[in-house]
Amino acid sequence: MQATMAERMDRLPKQFFANLVARVNERIRAGHDVINLGQGNPDLPTPTHIVEALRQAALDPKTHRYSPFTGLPTLKRAVAEFYDREYGVKLDPEREVAILFGGKTGLVELSEIYLNPGDVALVPDPGYPDYLSGIALAGGEMVPYPIVAENAYRPDLSGVTEAQWQRAKLWFLNYPNNPTGAAVDLACFEEAVSIASARGVILVHDFAYGAIGYDGFRPPSFLMTPGAKETGIEIYTMSKTYNMAGWRLAFAVGHPDVIAAINLMQDHYYVSVFPAVQLAGVAALTGPQDCVRELVATYQARRDAFLGELAERGVNVPAPKGSFFVWMPVPQGFTSASFADHLLERANVMVAPGIGFGGHGEGYVRIGLLDGVDRLREAARRIASVL
């Protein structure tokens, strides 16, 4: 029997990172000592008090049953408390909070919820590749807008035509940004809210790296902007802030109509996140936040060690303002892909070619600060040695 997949499956983009992993594994099997800085998978363990909260909750037979399909009320209240404490943003736990099966799931669902075939979603370029997944499944049209160094990585919408604006339903933002590590101030969000409100477009702010800012900078929440909740939503994941990547727990906050639409979609897709995982999320959001401050200090130490080692060898790379990525310009004579290949073959260091994040990612590679300081220093020495 040969079963033909639906056409929508053919529209899905190729999984960019799967190829990176395969190439690294192949080289490791060949006996090489590869330092893999090409992925965005947090390498540190989940804080102990969160793991213990999971253990205790999992021992309770009540968590073995279905939880409410829209998530535990205690978790939604914890999300509201977190946003009030960290950002001064008031949220109605029932109307303005949706529990997600990871941030990626929420980003994909939104396109399926709002885009009809031919509708437009505005996407940052360079940007997180999986924004395209939901757009493709919905049959929508992705319209990339540049975020480049010359414009301080702020959105440049000058290339969006009036015809595209007329079909636009969603506008994705992401700060601190993956892959560039750039961050913006509230003035940027205020401008975005003004444009989105005038155009009737739903803003979706991907706040995955919201906790990670350097040199005393604290990334602002999109919802701190007046009018933001009337214009769109923010998606926050537990993966980066609390090293809970494998736990698949995130939440969307903001416009109550969008939150209701997410809950409606998820009512058909899922039952609910395992209640013990949700209760561990409560412990993370409402418990001691020393672990978050220590995490940011760790990433800053890694950033400074890596960039410092490069600088000592005459290679100067701009320091990211947030996230755990370094956005490194490639040397003259290389493309992003050929430079990534060069580093893997000559230095046994894996980085992600910028072209995988969009056309404006060409000329850069993304380097993840996801190894210890000593290994990052070693990676910097290897990179410098083959330049």
What CATH number has the domain bearing residue 54? 3.40.640.10
Model confidence at 7, pLDDT cuts 50, 70, 90, reads confident
Structure confidence by residue, pLDDT tens digits, 177-190: 999 999 999 999 99
Structure confidence by residue, pLDDT tens digits, 99-152: 999 999 999 999 999 999 999 999 999 999 999 999 999 999 999 999 999 999
What CA–CA distance (Å, rounded) separates 336 from 20?
Answer: 13
- In a shared domain, residues 57 and 123: yes
Model confidence at 16, pLDDT cuts 50, 70, 90, reads confident
Give me the CATH number covering residue 24: 3.90.1150.10
Statement: residue 168 has pLDDT above 90: yes
Structure confidence by residue, pLDDT tens digits, 329-384: 999 999 999 999 999 999 999 999 999 999 999 999 999 999 999 999 999 999 99
Token digits for 275?
Answer: 């209640």
Domain presence at residue 6: no
Domain presence at residue 307: yes
Token digits for 342?
Answer: 């060069």
Task: Single out the residue in 286, 310, 344 at which a domain terminates.
Answer: 286
What CA–CA distance (Å, rounded) separates 96 from 229?
Answer: 9
Domain presence at residue 2: no
Model confidence at 204, pLDDT cuts 50, 70, 90, reads very high
- CA-based end-to-end distance of the chain: 53
The pLDDT score that the predictor gives to residue 12 is 86
Task: Single out the residue in 286, 313, 334 at which a domain terminates.
Answer: 286
- In a shared domain, residues 114 and 238: yes
How many domains in the chain? 2
Statement: residue 39 has pLDDT above 90: no
User: What range defines the domain where residue 356 resides?
Assistant: 11-40+290-385
Q: What is the mean pLDDT of residues 182-202?
A: 97
